[in-house]
Structure 1
Amino acid sequence: MTYVELVTGPRLDDAYYQSTNASRVYGWYLGDCQNYPADREAARAALAMAPWVQQSARINRAFQLQSYTWARDMGVRQFLDLGCGWPHHPVLYDVLERELPVVYVDQDPGVAAHLAAELDQGDATTVIRADIMPMGSFLSSAPMLDAIDLDHPVAVFLGDVLPWWPDDTVVQQAMNELRAWMPAGSILAITHLTGDFTPEAVAALVDTYAAHGLTVRPRSRQQIESLFGDFVHQGPGLCATGQWHQASPEARRPPEHSAAFAAIAVKSTAQGRDA
């Protein structure tokens, strides 16, 4: 396994453990033990305000796992998990053949440390601690050039990542750069929080997170659609996260339980890189 740090920033000190951490809050919803009092307080407050929030996290997680398998079955042989968060097994590597290149990226020092400790699974795995905004600088970094072969398609996953960047212009620019960088035939999978299904409930959730030091930005269907550019949607297209994989148990749940849109799209062979 290769481990690289491209950022400095926060370290594993008292301030880190005492502050609320979005990735650890998400892990609490999934039953993870890697959390601290501030995280649990925020998660319980959110759950009291929006009882569906824990189910939403579980639906999001199920979509991620199903999408890993979908991309693998479509023949993609290298994988990039941006803002991957704390490792919850099964992780991406668990559903792939062991020799396939997998790159996990997160800027959180605790996440990166745990990934490096838990996912030491051979030369095909790379863990990069990095800020993915600005995306262009990150994608052109030496660790990424070493890890990803741009002569072949790559599957890129952004699961519940982009809502934690509130600046719409920054996010759109980053996604433009990511899509241009991806080779033809590549797969892009995104889940993103939305207020479209239950505006008042999601607004209350945003306020609850803010009271605990977390800034989250729901986006509309149109805004989320724009993140895919002209990539070709697969399956049912952009829809409630739980309803993308129609054979999954989550497909029977109403859209408000997802509280997010999801889609998987492919860069056509006609587009090529820098399209």
Structure 2
Amino acid sequence: MSSAQLLPEAPFEPQHFIRARSPRVYDYLLGGHEHYACDREAATAVRRTAEWVVEAARINRDFALQSVQVTLDLGVRQFLDLGCGLPGNRNVHEIAEQAPGSTTVYVDRDYEACLHTALRPDESPSMRVIHADLLAMDQLLASEAVCAALDRTRPVAVLLHDVLPWCGNDTAVHAAMATLRAWMPPGSTLSITHLTDHWHRATMPDTVAAYASHGLHVRPRCQEEIADLFADFDQQGLGLTATGRWHSSSRHTRYVQHRLDVHSAAFAGIAVKPTPGRNPPAHSGPAPRPA
């Protein structure tokens, strides 16, 4: 089945090309080409208040690549990328395909992002693309597309990289995450990066306002709020820490090199859903407090 067949028709509206959209702003910050003047104007306004925003985008992208390799090392071969955004130079399915039998399902509520992903020149039989809102998590996970692509008798790696900050309704986010965690089979991994004001308490309100002035609403969360998104899952590696600190072994440093925490402006974690009745692994434990 071609991944494009999983996309419902969603005609573009005129405002699509004159109002900034977060996937395109992110693409511009990473030096991509899928953006318009409105997206560049939004990114420029944000950079005036947050000089770290370009480096933070790069760190987030590098962690996303690293997290796939970390998950492969844990034996997981199915990937659900929620909020996949616009495709980059290297993407989840390209790394996952190192392991035979891997499957990647890309999901985004932005139709343009889905369309670009589905029509990539390197489209693979191992990837699927779904246009859906992750806040309607029960509908998404029960959809025919997800049920056909993912085998719930085996672990699934769920990726939520720089996605939840764009969901400002805390009640809806917690409901969606509870549904997701309950759906995930034991041994599944949950990888999250999330914007925080931990290192930018004085200037983050101005950054949020700069986004809002261009119609983009972002919700930074503190370390404790982000930790709650994982619930009782077992944190791996360094635990929930600054995104740029994730370089747990020399094998993975080709993706990530240590950067200053202040440049990350986000927390990141990879956690495993425990098997019921089984004690957590010895390496898991509370996340170290960042400097």
Distance apart, 1:145 and its partner CA: 0.6
What is residue 31 of structure 1 aligned with on the other side? 31
Corresponding letter in the other structure for 2:38: A
Distance apart, 1:204 and its partner CA: 1.2
* Alignment equivalent of 1:270, drawn from 276, 280, 283: 276
What is residue 206 of structure 2 aligned with on the other side? 204
Distance apart, 1:147 and its partner CA: 0.8
What is residue 261 of structure 2 aligned with on the other side? 255
What is residue 74 of structure 1 aligned with on the other side? 74
**Contact 1:104–1:128, Cα closer than 8 Å, also in 2:** yes
1:104 aligns with 2:106: yes
What are the residue-to-residue correspondences of 1:137-176 with 2, within 5 Å? 137-176=139-178
What is residue 283 of structure 2 aligned with on the other side? none
What is residue 3 of structure 2 aligned with on the other side? 2
Which has the larger displacement, 208-217 or 195-204? 195-204
**Contact 1:112–1:127, Cα closer than 8 Å, also in 2:** yes
Distance apart, 1:237 and its partner CA: 0.6
Corresponding letter in the other structure for 1:159: H
Which has the larger displacement, 238-247 or 42-51? 238-247
Cα–Cα, structure 1 residues 101 and 250, in superposed 2: closer, same or farther, change >3 Å? closer
Cα–Cα, structure 1 residues 7 and 165, in superposed 2: closer, same or farther, change >3 Å? farther
**Contact 2:211–2:218, Cα closer than 8 Å, also in 1:** yes
**Contact 2:77–2:101, Cα closer than 8 Å, also in 1:** no
Corresponding letter in the other structure for 1:30: L
Corresponding letter in the other structure for 1:40: R
Task: Render the CA deviation track for 1:68-99: whole Å, top value 9, x for unaligned.
Answer: 11111211111110000000020011112264
Corresponding letter in the other structure for 2:67: S
Which has the larger displacement, 78-87 or 108-117? 108-117
Question: What TM-score, normalized to structure 1?
Answer: 0.93
Corresponding letter in the other structure for 1:50: A
Distance apart, 1:250 and its partner CA: 5.4
Q: Distance in 2 between matches of 1:82 and 1:119?
A: 21
> Aligned-pair RMSD on alpha carbons?
1.8
Distance apart, 1:12 and its partner CA: 2.3
Q: What is the number of residues matched between the two proteins?
A: 270
Which has the larger displacement, 149-158 or 239-248? 239-248
Which has the larger displacement, 243-252 or 92-101? 243-252
Q: Distance in 2 between matches of 1:80 and 1:222?
A: 25
Corresponding letter in the other structure for 1:60: N
Task: Determine helix, strand or coil for the equivalent of 1:252.
Answer: coil
Provide structure 2 residue ranges, at least 5 long, that are not aligned to the other structure: 279-291
Corresponding letter in the other structure for 2:20: T
Corresponding letter in the other structure for 2:155: P
What is residue 217 of structure 2 aligned with on the other side? 215
Task: Render the CA deviation track for 1:38-63: whole Å, top value 9, x for unaligned.
Answer: 00000011112111010000000000
What are the residue-to-residue correspondences of 1:63-142 with 2, within 5 Å? 63-97=63-97, 99-118=101-120, 121-142=123-144
Q: Distance in 2 between matches of 1:44 and 1:117?
A: 29
Corresponding letter in the other structure for 1:188: L
Task: Determine helix, strand or coil for the equivalent of 1:138.
Answer: helix
**Contact 2:50–2:203, Cα closer than 8 Å, also in 1:** yes
What is residue 234 of structure 1 aligned with on the other side? 236
**Contact 2:197–2:221, Cα closer than 8 Å, also in 1:** yes
Corresponding letter in the other structure for 2:35: N
Question: What TM-score, normalized to structure 2?
Answer: 0.88
**Contact 1:79–1:154, Cα closer than 8 Å, also in 2:** yes
% identical aligned pairs:
44
Distance apart, 1:166 and its partner CA: 0.2
What is residue 189 of structure 1 aligned with on the other side? 191
Cα–Cα, structure 1 residues 271 and 65, in superposed 2: closer, same or farther, change >3 Å? farther
**Contact 2:67–2:191, Cα closer than 8 Å, also in 1:** yes
What is residue 41 of structure 2 aligned with on the other side? 41
Q: Distance in 2 between matches of 1:236 and 1:144?
A: 31
